[in-house]
């Protein structure tokens, strides 16, 4: 059965909590005296819907309902969790806690988002202080799992257990607050204070400081906190950033762009990929995962497209090739650190069609073949169209030259066919 | 032509620099009075060879040669870059700079790895101070691109330009040092000091602090320094960590494990994947990338394997299935945030063979099919063998039940065959 959360105060923090609870399947009741809050909540919810469910490799529950309420009493009606997200003014919070407790269920958990006040201060004037805890998260609350959880002797063990259960149930990782300070606030302030000092003393610009974090320190801290990081974890993060062309990943892309490309002889299969198998491409079987074979073949197809003129500029102008069919044969294993290369033979290149055959090698050892049918499309209509003349001409040249080559072993095969 | 670097002092720092230069194609000449250094250098080099080349999506130059030299004069002979990696003792460094300058090329760059001394201090007693700069990197030097570069008025513009060129040429991102302090050292000290205070005052344990960094702050700093992070970048990093089961990614995996699995009716195709398309699964064509279709089909295969008992424990005991052949038809597009599901039909399951057919849907819309032949193998011999009895039995049950289903449309197809 769906559970209900009340969010009191729908600024950035309230919107973030509302979005996380709702995407995780909770019904959400919001109260904010400012009608403008609706726009912000809608925008944050849209972000959360794009980002959060994809973090899971399983299906999340159906998204819950959301209601904007006119009063606090209406908002907390039926709520088993009440998240207070008001401005950091103690008297305001205390007044609202009293109001909440006039109307809410005695068994509900009331969690404050405060990054400033101690739990004892928050409980100070409450009717039932045992119901009040603090749960402090950082933006974007709908993506980052961190939540600092403060409970004390006034809370019952049931409230404490229930708080952890709810927070874990919405995908968060509660970190128990040991004292009165929020660790995230203290660390962030310490770093910001030092950054301000370095800037004031002319030791660094704000950009320099961001670079030092993005290219080095932040990666280590994200991978493993204050402990030494594992290479595979750093490599995986760096490669994720590379795919986004962000942070340290943008440095890697700039480096790649400086490396020389092989000379092309169009009478032979074209060298379209030469690379090393990354640490994060291996799987539980101890070898390169099947998905990464297709990733290398996909890169080979991208490179072939570039060679015939279907590059980033052309794609931006509205034309591209879509893969409609793929056949892969896995012939031999390969491991992290091995240098692999892909050679690409064009089996057909006329009209809307492009039929490619990739062979992947480590040295002379044939590891896999990939056969792909691609169709040229208009990115506006998403329908098949013929490519621009210069692309048709270049593709035609290569297809004609490759027609003189032998048909590769394995081309035209169906899965499970006798060899 | 290959260039030569001399590394003076082969502790952790020297070994890291040596490994990066060598993997990036430089010939390396090492000097360290301690013969034990060789073991460390060998170990670090092995790590670097596994991790660094895979960060590039293109081939790196051939790995350079490496020589351990008996004297500094031998080490710097022919070197165009000399990286000093000695213990942080100013008099020692100054003495060694004099020794280096007796023998090295006048045009070579001499870079100190110091995190402590100012450049003016290092240049103090040198014969040719204009040749000396500071280049400070953080571990693992062979993976992280950060390098803080200090030059001053004593250096010629040629030395400064050459320093940037060399550092970028080995894949690093030089951050110009504006004053006498190293920003990375200052920030790291500030964070460590605050962490020590929090621990001393009982506000947090060391583990709490690491959790706050791994689950929240570190991710933001790694993504974008002190600026606001983009969701797509955070999602990509979180998913990379998830694949490694590390940091915040381990939280996501624990959450997934708590979600209910669908009930199985083996008379019908089995539900093997239900998930949302993540933000980082889309590509330059604006839709889910072809590689991610196979990723979802690969996950479906993994789940099917689990259903028949080929789970993590069984794989640890030395048996598994390898995919030998794959055929994918892309029938329709799908975008980030969409909920997709895969249903799996077993076409054959006897002896060493397992022939699966996956259908991927968004709602009723068929997006793609994946046909896969898998062979059961021994992970010791890497050769085909029959599976354990309980797996053969469960697979047989499903195969028999599915034999009553229609052969799916598209099964047995070869690429480009007429429809």
* Min Cα–Cα distance to chain A from B72, Å: 31
- Counting the structural domains of chain A, the total is 3
| Domain identity same for A226 and A374 | no
B381 close contact with A: CB closer than 8 A: no
Domain of B159 in residue numbering reads as: 4-182
Q: Looking at the domain assignment, is residue B312 inside a domain?
A: yes
Q: Domain check: are A384 and A372 in the same one?
A: yes
In a domain, A136, yes or no: yes
Q: Is the same domain home to B132 and B25? A: yes
A418: left (phi over 0), alpha (psi -120 to 50) or beta: beta
- B235 and B152 in a common domain: no
- Residue B275's H or E segment, with its range, is strand B270-276
Domain-terminating residue out of B182, B216, B243: B182
Q: Which stretches does DSSP call E strand in B155-238?
A: 173-176
- Residue B330 maps to a domain: yes
Would you say residue A236 lies in a domain? yes
pLDDT, tens digit, 9 for 90 and up, residues A75-96: 999 999 999 999 999 999 999 9
Cβ atoms within 10 Å, residue A164? 15
Q: Quickly state the pLDDT bin for A418 (edges 50, 70, 90).
A: confident
Both A148 and A285 in one domain: the answer is no
Same domain membership, residue B152 and residue B277: no
CA–CA separation, A181 and B85 (whole Å): 40
Task: Tell whether A353 is covered by a domain.
Answer: yes
Contact yes or no for B146 and A211 at CB 8 A: yes
Average pLDDT for residues A259-277, to the nearest whole number?
Answer: 92
| ipTM (interface predicted TM) | 0.94
Residue A180 touches partner B, C-beta closer than 8 Å:
yes
Any B CB within 8 A of A355 CB: yes
User: Which helix (DSSP H) or strand (DSSP E) does residue B150 occupy?
Assistant: strand B146-150
pLDDT of residue B286: 83
By C-alpha distance, which of A191, A192, A202, A237 is closest to A216?
A237
Flag if A259 and B60 touch (Cβ within 8 Å). yes
Q: What is the CATH number of the domain that holds A392?
A: 3.10.129.10
Same domain, yes or no, for B90 and B22?
A: yes
pLDDT at residue B36, rounded to an integer: 87
Which residue, A215, A235, A256, sits at the end of a domain?
A: A256
- Low pLDDT (below 50) residues in chain B: none
Q: Point out the domain boundary residue: B237, B256, B275.
A: B256
Residue A419's pLDDT band, with cuts at 50, 70 and 90, is low
* Distance in angstroms (rounded) separating the CA atoms of residues A195 and B187: 7
pLDDT interval class at A383 (50, 70, 90): very high
Residue A252 and residue A175 share a domain:
no
In this complex, do A191 and B191 lie within 8 Å of one another by their Cβ atoms?
yes
Q: Is residue B272 a part of any domain in this protein?
A: yes
The verdict on A269 and A379 lying in the same domain is yes
Asked if the C-beta of A171 comes within 8 angstroms of chain B's C-beta atoms, the answer is: yes
B148 CB within 8 Å of a chain A CB: yes
Report which of residues A248 and B260 the model is more confident about: A248
The predicted-structure confidence for A197-243, as pLDDT tens digits, reads as follows 999 999 999 999 999 999 999 999 999 999 998 999 999 999 999 99
Q: What was the pLDDT predicted at B285?
A: 83
Mean of pLDDT values over A17-45: 95
Tell me which H or E stretch contains B213: none
User: Are the Cβ atoms of B298 and A276 closer than 8 angstroms?
Assistant: no
Q: Is A281 among the domain residues?
A: yes
pTM: 0.94
Q: In this structure, is the dihedral angle defined by the CA atoms of residues A117, A119, A125 and A126, taken in order, positive or negative?
A: positive
> What is chain A's mean pLDDT, rounded?
96
Kindly report, residue by residue over A115-154, the tens digit of the pLDDT: 999 999 999 989 999 999 999 999 999 999 999 999 999 9
Instruction: Name the helix (H) or strand (E) containing A82.
Output: strand A81-84
B378 and B310 in a common domain: yes
The verdict on a CB contact (< 8 Å) between A379 and B255 is no
**Quick check: A231 and B51 CB within 8 A?**
yes
CB nearest B210 (choices: A188, A227, A256)? A227
A-B C-beta contacts closer than 8 Å: 512
Share of chain A above pLDDT 90, in %: 94
DSSP class of B157? H
Name the residue facing A416 among B139, B256, B325 (closest C-beta): B325
With bands split at pLDDT 50, 70 and 90, how would you rate the model's confidence at A263? confident
Task: Assign A103 to helix, strand or coil.
Answer: helix
| Backbone CA torsion sign across A131, A137, A140, A145 | negative
Cβ contact B51–A178 (<8 Å) = no
* SS3 call for B351: coil
Nearest to A413, CA basis, from A349, A363, A362, A347:
A347
CATH code of the domain containing A169: 3.40.50.720
pLDDT for B32: 96
pLDDT in tens, A148-205: 999 999 999 999 999 999 999 999 999 999 999 999 999 999 999 999 999 999 999 9
In this complex, do A59 and B339 lie within 8 Å of one another by their Cβ atoms? Answer: yes
CA-CA distances (angstroms) from residue A56 to A236, B114, B117, B316? 18, 44, 48, 25
Residue B128 belongs to some domain of the structure: yes
Least CB–CB distance from A327: residue in B178, B187, B326:
B326
Judging by beta carbons within 10 Å of its beta carbon (0-12, 13-18, 19+), is residue B380 exposed, middle or buried? exposed
Shared-domain flag, residues A331 and A231: no
Q: Are residues A38 and A154 in the same domain?
A: yes
From chain A residues 191-250, the ones with a CB under 8 A of any chain B CB are: 191-195, 198, 201-244, 246-248
What is the C-alpha to C-alpha distance for residues B259 and A61, in angstroms, rounded to an integer? 9
């Amino acid at each position: 059965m769906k559970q209900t959360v009340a969010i009191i105060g729908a600024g950035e923090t309230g919107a973030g909590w509302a979005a996380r609870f709702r995407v995780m399947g909770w019904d959400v009741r919001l109260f904010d005296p400012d009608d403008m809050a609706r726009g912000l909540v809608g925008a944050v919810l849209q972000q959360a819907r794009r980002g959060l469910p994809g973090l899971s490799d399983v299906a999340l529950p159906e998204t819950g309902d959301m209601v904007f309420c006119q009063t606090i009493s209406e908002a907390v009606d039926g709520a088993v969790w009440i998240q207070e997200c008001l401005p950091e003014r103690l008297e305001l919070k205390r007044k609202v806690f009293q109001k909440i407790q006039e109307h809410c269920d005695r068994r509900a958990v009331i969690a404050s988002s405060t990054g400033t006040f101690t739990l004892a201060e928050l409980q100070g004037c409450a009717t039932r202080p045992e119901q009040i805890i603090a749960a402090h998260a950082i933006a974007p609350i709908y993506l980052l799992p961190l939540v600092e959880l403060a409970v004390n002797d006034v809370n019952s063990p049931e409230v404490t257990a229930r708080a952890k259960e709810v927070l874990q149930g919405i995908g968060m990782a509660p970190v128990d607050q040991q004292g009165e300070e929020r660790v995230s606030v203290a660390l962030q302030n310490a770093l910001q204070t030092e950054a301000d000092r370095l800037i004031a003393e002319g030791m660094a610009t704000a950009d320099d400081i961001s670079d030092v974090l993005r290219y080095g320190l932040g990666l280590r801290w994200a991978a493993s906190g204050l402990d030494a990081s594992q290479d595979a974890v750093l490599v995986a993060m760096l490669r994720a950033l590379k795919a986004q062309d962000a942070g340290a990943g943008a440095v890697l892309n700039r480096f790649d762009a400086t490396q020389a490309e092989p000379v092309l002889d169009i009478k032979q299969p074209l060298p379209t990929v030469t690379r090393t198998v990354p640490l994060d491409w291996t799987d539980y079987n101890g070898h390169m995962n099947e998905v990464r074979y297709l990733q290398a073949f996909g890169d080979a197809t991208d490179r072939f497209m570039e060679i015939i003129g279907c590059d980033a500029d052309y794609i931006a102008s509205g034309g591209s090739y879509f893969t409609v069919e793929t056949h892969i044969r896995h012939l031999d294993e390969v491991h992290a650190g091995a240098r692999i290369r892909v050679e690409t033979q064009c089996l057909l290149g006329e009209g809307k069609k492009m039929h490619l055959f990739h062979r992947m090698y480590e040295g002379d050892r044939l590891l896999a073949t990939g056969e792909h049918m691609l169709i040229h499309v208009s990115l506006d209509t998403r329908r098949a169209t013929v490519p621009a003349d210069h692309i048709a001409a270049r593709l035609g040249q290569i297809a004609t030259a490759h027609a003189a080559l032998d048909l590769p072993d394995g081309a035209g095969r169906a899965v499970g066919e006798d060899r």
